[in-house]
Amino acid sequence: MKSIVIHAAKDLRIEETAPEPLGAGQVEIRLATGGICGSDLHYFNHGGFGAIRLREPMVLGHEVSGHITALGQGVTGLALGQLVAVSPSRPCHQCSYCQKAMFNHCLNMRFYGSAMPFPHIQGAFRQVLVADASQCVPADGLTAGEAAMAEPLAVCLHATRRAGPLLGKSVLVTGCGPIGILCILAARRAGADFIAATDLSDFTLGLARQAGADVTLNTAQVPEALAAYTQDKGRFDVLYECSGAAPALIAAIPAMRPGGVIIQLGLGGDMTLPVQAMTAKELSLRGSFRFHEEFATGVSLMQKGLIDVKPFITQTFPLSQALQAFQTAGDRSRAMKAQIVFD
């Protein structure tokens, strides 16, 4: 079978790899669609991010969907030919964090396409994937492209849970890549009353408006665009910081109301923060990392038509054009979510 393998920065190859054996409690999946994530782009462009570096070739990808082609012993509730969204979250269910139901912090997590441990955890961008049945959420009624969006949507649903009640709240989203866009959708579904979004690209801000942002601000063109929201100690109750860029967070703090909540999703390296300003406003800084049970919730919300991700899938490439897909996915002047079709 063919897989998409990263060897080093800019060294992306389509290679033949051997399928894994099918075990009890597992299913074999003919991969249909895979979405290119920001972490995939970090490996492609830089060979890693922060202290996490590639130390061996690694199959990329963790936003995937496909059709079941074989059922392992003991598998129930799934059917041959069924479209499933495949969660990349594979906790051990044995460690101290799993025992506390903090599955996203599992000490032995096997998250697809991750260079955090060594040997690396190989990813899901392969024509045939063997997954635990527990990872598979039936995606009946969705397209394969929509089903592959369940993973980034789950990230944003987990962040929304971390933010606390949003009914009637004012929300600021900094960074309108796929995570920022999906945070807008999640915040609105959770009851946010007013949503503003900032970015450096008119293309992404246009999609933010389509996602439901009330106001969009291009901070490349107008660096002081948030100044209008700083009166009376600030306007926003919750900040989704999705850029991973310190300047975006620093610029947002004067616009936060006292007692507000900052949800940090963006991963871009360590930041120097204005701690005294945050202290004076009694702001809460909360990290948000991955997800677990929110994956199935995301699939359900899409199936019910409560969240529509289709407008934000901007490009689809065949497997043979994987390199072009990665090059396009990183271009925020024309791409939001680029996907690869494996069928």
* Contact predicate 176/201, CB 8 Å: yes
Task: List the structure tokens of 162.
Answer: 């971390």
For 31, the enclosing helix (H) or strand (E) is: strand 26-35
Distance CA 214, CA 39 (A): 29
Q: CB of 16 within 8 A of CB of 30?
A: no
DSSP state of 248: H
Structure token digits, residue 229: 């929201």
Positive or negative torsion for Cα 130, 136, 141, 145: negative
**Ranges of H-type helices in 47-149:** 96-99, 144-147
What pLDDT does residue 3 have? 98
* Mean pLDDT (the chain, rounded): 96
The closest of 337, 175, 333 to 244, measured between CA atoms, is 175
Confidence of residue 208 (pLDDT cuts 50, 70, 90): very high
How do residues 170-205 score in pLDDT, each as one tens digit? 999 999 999 999 999 999 999 999 999 999 999 999
The first and second tokens of residue 159, run together, are: 């962040």
**How many whole angstroms separate alpha carbon 320 and alpha carbon 146?**
21
Q: How confident is the model at residue 268 (pLDDT cuts 50, 70, 90)?
A: confident
Q: Mean pLDDT over residues 297-303, rounded?
A: 98
Evaluate whether 284 touches 237 at the Cβ level (below 8 Å).
no
Asked if residue 113 lies in contact with residue 58, where contact means CB atoms within 8 angstroms, the answer is yes
CA–CA dist 237, 256 (Å, integer): 6
**pLDDT tens for residues 110-165?**
999 999 999 999 999 999 999 999 999 999 999 999 999 999 999 999 999 999 99
- Mean pLDDT within 82-88: 98
Q: Among residues of the chain, what percentage have pLDDT more than 70? A: 100
3-class SS at 204?
A: helix
State the helix-helix crossing angle for 322-329 and 38-46, rounded to 10 degrees.
100
Q: What local confidence, expressed as pLDDT, does residue 272 receive?
A: 86
Q: List the end-to-end C-alpha distance of the chain, in Å, as a whole number.
A: 12
Do you know the residue count of the chain? 343
Q: Give residue 271's pLDDT band: very low, low, confident or very high (50, 70, 90).
A: confident
Model confidence pLDDT, tens digit, residues 153-171: 999 999 999 999 999 999 9
pLDDT value of position 91: 96
User: Residue 316: pLDDT band by 50, 70, 90 thresholds?
Assistant: very high
The domains found in the chain, sorted by start residue, are: 2-149+309-341 (3.90.180.10), 154-287 (3.40.50.720)
What is the rounded average pLDDT of the residues 216-227?
96
Which runs of consecutive H residues, i.e. helices, occur in the chain?
38-46, 96-99, 144-147, 150-163, 178-189, 202-211, 246-252, 275-280, 294-303, 322-329
